[in-house]
Every structure is written in structure tokens, then in C-alpha cells.
A and B are shown apart, each in its own frame.
Chain A
């Protein structure tokens, strides 16, 4: 087998506190293409990594407005234009009776916006990741806390990045192949 290219480095951290401090350390050292892995969301990590806000709410807004518009148009067009039937002297279209269906459709498409944008923005489904080859990394969904740095990061240097991870409390620093 040909020599595999190096994807990056991964280090394990003892607990959420060390993980948080290490993420801050990498942020302050100017790293960008690094990732923090934990079995549950660690409070304050988004700031520690210097991440900008999630874009999910915009997709929810888009979904909600689409749902509302489509539901109103559907009820008005099907009831008052395409197939007008007089029932009990009620108007062919009114916002009052259209409210329940409009509300439900808005909620439905907002929920689609939330779930599918979360999956899409996270680039899921993602069946393969170079870290899967690191045995200890399997504990990232159990009780392991990890930080990985990719070689694509402009600041990446196999020796200096490894030393930085170790100085931040990282253990079992491992070279990950692609």
C-alpha cells in the first residue's frame, strides 16, 4: 500500500474543563481548522473556539414563511377560485377559518427547516472520517474528549502543533492518516 497522506493530529483530554482551555489555547494560537469532539455539548465551547452563530434559524424562518404563504394560497385558491362551494352561508375565504391550517403548515415547514438545515450544515450523513481509524476516538460518543487539528490549517506543523497540544494538556497525541 502506498504511503498514506497525513490528515492531521488528534489528542485526548481528561475532562471538559481541560478541553475548554485547550480549545481557547488553539484559538489564541491562531488555529482555524481544528475541531473539538465531545459526547455531549460542552457549555461555553462555541466561544472558546470563536465560532460565529449557527445559521439554522434562518432556514427555520424561511420554512415558516413558505409554509404560511403556501397554506394561505392553497386555502384561498382551492376554496374561492378553483372549487367554490357555498356551505352554510360561510364566506368562500376568510382568515379566521384559515388560521388552524396555516398555523400547522408554518410549524411543519419550520420544523423541516430546523432538522434538514442542521443535517445539511453539518454535512451529514458522513459515513467516513479519517478519525475513525484511531481506536481511542471511538470513545468520543462515550466518555472521551478530543481535539483534532487538520494539516490544511495554515498554522499546522507536525512538531509544533503536537507540542502545543501536549502543552495544553493533550494526551495520546496521534498522527491521523487520510
Chain B
């Protein structure tokens, strides 16, 4: 009975799902979260999130009414919080696709407990990200100018601009992530439909489950489509942050015009995305009693990825400085000295502390396995990665001509949009936790040892399928 699943177990001793679970107890444990009435904790968090959403509504409403002048923008800092928040949220989105696509292709079975969660996070983070380019154009009603649609002006967008590539990259990313998430949800929606107690739940889940009943001919096409979506998403996720980095790298601003940006941005995105998955998963596993599914091993694996990508980001920071000196360009060298010791020195050192120094604690297994410390360190990474984008964007404040130097000071409306975007994110995320299964039920069942027809527990049935049926005569 040596088969792939058995070998996986011996190489990785801790089981993927803890406790003595059967298929039915898995269904129960995960669906219970959705079917039970909302807890007090959920209601309190949801009200907080709605408050944040309200802040966003007011900030964006006032912005659209009054214009981008309400932000702290000036010349030369014509890009402020809007671009910082955009890159921050897009980056967070990357972990979801990485977990669902790249770890799937590498057959990392531990991903099954966290992929649904991370994919939802991706979609909501990309919604927050898409908000910022939309509102920072100022006249949102003219946004359709960015799309290649025939219009009354007879004009077409400029495909030579990286900003237009970004429109295509981020909207494709959003659409494909949404499809990937939805395809993964179909069998679980069917599970919720078949357990529904109320007519409303039955029809609502039933409509989105499309009439899924688990036919093997369906599973065959489903698995093929899922594999291909994973194969498509893997290069897609790398392309998205590459293209986001082109927004900066294709310009001629010192500190931006560097070839290291695409890999540096991608590493940073994975880094920040995994941190956000931990920030969300550590409280959620506690509150919804999902510790048997999102185990210490899952958290530890993610901490290891944070450690690796954090060091890649640290390497990129060092390499930027080296190249700035090695290039011999005085503007380039001076920009980097200004980053570390100029008016925004505090932002630079917050970034280095949170992204390079504190993640080093993850070298220690005790810390990787400690939920409280992992949670705190993940928040540090979130803060550090927001400041990374702030530091990069603030390269603008001292450009080539000293007479045009200025200092960007965000206003209350800049902060309103930033805080509000968290409100939007958490509102969507809490609704997801309440109404959809946070863990992929059918996938978790699929990685259980007894899901394998050749599992040793079934050994007595042998290969001769005629022999074992003799003693079993039931009539339906």
C-alpha cells in the first residue's frame, strides 16, 4: 500500500486536519460557522467596519464634489496617498492567488485550509485597490476614457503608457481571481444548499451552486478547469505587480527608474499578502473555532514565507542603494541619501524596521509557532509595507530642480480614504465569513487519508471487487 498520499504523510508527520474527523464532521464544523446566528463579536466587528465604510463614503463623496484639491497634493508631489494605497492593496491581494494557484501547482496540500480565505482576501483587497485609481482621476465620470471603447471624441487610449497597461492588468486580475474563487465555491455552495433549513437559504445558495450534485463527469471537467485556472493565475499574479511597478519604473524620476522594480515589487507583494492572511486568519481561527483546520503548521509555514520574502525585500533595499552609488548618477545617489536622511527619514526607518528587522524573529521556531507574536509581527509587516510604498512615492518631493522642492503633508481627507478603505475591506470580509464557507470543504475532504480509495484502512476490500460484497445484501 505504498502510494502518494501515504508517502506525503511520512515526509510531513503532522496531519493537515487535526482531530479524529470524518467527512461529515468536516462539513459540520465548517458549515456551522455560516449556519449559526451571528455572534456578538461578529456584530461588533461588523459595526466597526461599517463605521469605516461610512468614513470612506464621506471622504469619497466630498472628493468627488470638491476635487482632488482636498488632498495634500502639490507640485512636485502629484501622487500621494492614492497611489500608495493602490499599490498597498494590490500587493495584499497577491498572497491569495499565490496560495491558491502557485501552491496548488506545486501540490502543497497544506494550502487547502487557507486558500478560500486568502482568495476572498485577494478579491476584497483588489476592490479596495481599484477604488484609488478610480477616485484619483478626480473626474470619475470620465473614467471611461481609459477604456478602449469607441466614443464621441473619436479618441483612443495610448497603449504606450504603463498606466493603461495597469488598467488591463488589474481588471484582468480582479476578474480571473473572482472566477477562480467562484469555481472553487461551487461544490461548497451545493453543500450549503443541501443543508439549508430556510427556503431563502435554499434558493440563494442553490442559485449560485448552479445545480451542482457531485457527478464524476462534472468533477472531471471541474478539476481540469481548476488546474488550468491555477496555471493561468500563476503567471498572471507575477505580471500584475510587475506592471504596477512599471507605473514607476518606466518614468524618468530618480529612485523610480530602476530595473529591479518588477521582482522587488512582486517579492514585497507576497510578503505583505502573507502578513495580511495571518492578520486575518489568526483571530478568525480562534473566533470561529477552526483551529483543527488552520493549524499551527499552517501559521508556521506562512511565517517561513514571510521570513524568506522579507529577506528578498531587504536585499532589494540594499541593492537599490548599491546601484544608486554604482550608477554614478548624482541625482540617483542623492535621492537615496535623501530617502534615508532627508525630511522623510522617519518613514524610511519605519519601513526598514518593520520589513527587514522584526521579521528576523521568525528564525526562531518558538516565535513562528506562537500565535500572539505571529499576529503582532504580521501587523508590523502590514505597516512596513504601507510605508515602503509611501517612501517610494515620496521620491517625488525633491526632483531635479531645487526651486520646485516641496513637502507632502496628507490632509484629513487623505487619512479618511485610507481608513475608509480598511472599512470597505473588513465589511466585505466579515460578510464573506458570515455567508460563505471560509474553508474549502470539498478540498479539505479530498486531502483526508480516507479520501484515497487505496487508503490502508480500506485494505481488506482488496482488488477483487466481487469477493467483499457476498455478505452484504441490503434492499432499498
Report A's interface with B, CB cutoff 8 A: 11, 15-25, 35-46, 49, 51, 54-57, 60, 74-75, 78-79, 82-83, 85, 87-88, 90, 97-98, 100-101, 103-105, 107-108, 110-112, 114-115, 117-119, 121-122, 124-129, 131, 137-143, 166-169, 171-174
Contacts and interface: CB of A to CB of B under 8 A. Distances in A.
B225 A115 contact: yes
Given A39-B23, A100-B239, A141 B212 contact: yes
Given A20-B453, A37-B213, A56-B225, A87 B158 contact: yes
Contacts of A112: 179
Contact of B160 (A43, A97, A107): A97
Given A54-B224, A127-B206, A141-B194, 5 more contacts: A39-B442, A44-B453, A143-B23, A143-B27, A169-B468
Contact of B229 (A25, A85, A115): A115
Interface residues of B, number: 78
Given A21-B461, A36-B215, A40-B446, A83 B232 contact: no
Interface stretch (B148-156, B351-359, B411-419): B148-156
Contacts of A79: 156, 158-160
7 contacts: A11-B476, A16-B455, A37-B214, A37-B216, A42-B216, A51-B220, A166-B475
A119 B190 CA distance: 14
Given A39-B445, A101-B165, A118-B225, A124 B212 contact: yes
A141 B159 contact: no
A85 B161 CA distance: 13
| Best-surrounded residue of A83, A173, A174 (most CB of chain B within 10 A) | A83
Contacts of A125: 207, 210-211
B219 A38 contact: yes
Nearest to A96: B160
B461 A110 contact: no
Interface residues of chain B: helix, strand, loop or mixed (majority)? helix
B442 A40 contact: yes
Contacts of A105: 168, 172
Contact of A54 (B194, B220, B452): B220
A105 B441 CA distance: 32
Contacts of B64: none
A124 B22 CA distance: 29
Contact of A51 (B187, B217, B474): B217
B211 A100 contact: no
B29 to A, nearest CB: 12
B10 interface: no
B61 to A, nearest CB: 32
Nearest to A17: B458
Interface residues of chain A: helix, strand, loop or mixed (majority)? helix
Contacts of A104: 165, 168-169, 172, 236, 239, 243
A45 B451 CA distance: 12
Nearest to B5: A43
A101 B250 CA distance: 16
Contacts of B473: 166
B476 A174 contact: yes
A78 B159 contact: yes
B357 to A, nearest CB: 35
A17 B474 contact: no
A110 B452 CA distance: 31
A23 B180 CA distance: 30
A19 to B, nearest CB: 7
A124 B190 CA distance: 13
Closest 4 CB pairs of A and B: A21-B465, A126-B211, A143-B23, A118-B225
A163 B353 CA distance: 72
A40 B440 CA distance: 11
Given A79-B156, A169-B469, A122 B216 contact: no
A166 B183 CA distance: 35
B195 interface: yes
B361 interface: no
A16 B212 contact: no
Given A97-B159, A107-B235, A43 B453 contact: yes
A107 B229 CA distance: 9
B219 A171 contact: no
Given A100-B246, A168-B465, A172-B474, A35 B221 contact: no
B197 interface: no
A97 B161 CA distance: 8
B297 interface: no
B224 A129 contact: no
B469 A49 contact: no
Nearest to B440: A40
A171 B472 contact: yes
Contacts of B441: 39
A40 B453 CA distance: 12
Contacts of B51: none
A82 B153 CA distance: 12
Given A100-B239, A127-B206, A171-B472, A141 B175 contact: no
Contacts of A142: 23-24, 27, 191, 194-195
